[in-house]
Amino acid sequence: RDEKIWLTLSFGMIMIFMLITGYQAFALEMGPPSNMETIDPTKVDQTAPFDKPGVKQVGENEYEVVMTLQAFSFNPNKIEVPAGSTVTFVLTSKDVTHGFQIANTNVNAMVPPGHIQKIKQKFDKAGEYLILCNEYCGAGHQVMGTTITVK
């Protein structure tokens, strides 16, 4: 009788373990973080604020960069802000999941289609900062990059 209980128990454990693993795989694959706002990825160009991508001053030393990502480019691909500004990047993708990494900063984010990713970064030092896609997105992934000029 004891054996039966142990057998049932271990079978139950295996089932639970499989359920957890399955759920995690599902959540990871399907799941951009649920705290992101969503939009229709097929209507990015018609959806505010992405109907007008660009750099906008929103306060003293504060800028907002509305940007769309698409294989294999960033729009706008020319960004200039004064040194000392805090920039909020508002990002979305028009096709597949891209990455948004700014060299020499801690900025490193995923930009899935249909989701709005917002990142804030202060740029104290003047210079050219490289922006890279760090999420494999297809044949042109390696060349997907741009720069932000801080002057």
144 binds ligand CUA (CB under 6 A): yes
CA neighbours closer than 13 Å in the CB half-sphere of residue 80: 2
How far apart, in whole angstroms, are the C-alpha atoms of residue 80 and residue 8? Answer: 65
133 binds ligand CUA (CB under 6 A): yes
DSSP 8-state class, residue 112: -
CA-based radius of gyration for the chain: 21
* Residue type at position 114: G
64 binds ligand CUA (CB under 6 A): no
Q: CB neighbours (10 Å) of residue 76?
A: 15
Whole-number minimum distance, CB 24 to ligand CUA, in Å?
24
How far apart, in whole angstroms, are the C-alpha atoms of residue 97 and residue 15? Answer: 33
Site for ligand CUA in 71-90 (CB under 6 A): 72
Binding mask 98-117 for ligand CUA (x = CB under 6 A): xx------------------
94 binds ligand CUA (CB under 6 A): no
141 binds ligand CUA (CB under 6 A): yes
Residues at the interface with ligand CUA (CB under 6 A):
72, 98-99, 133, 135-137, 141, 144
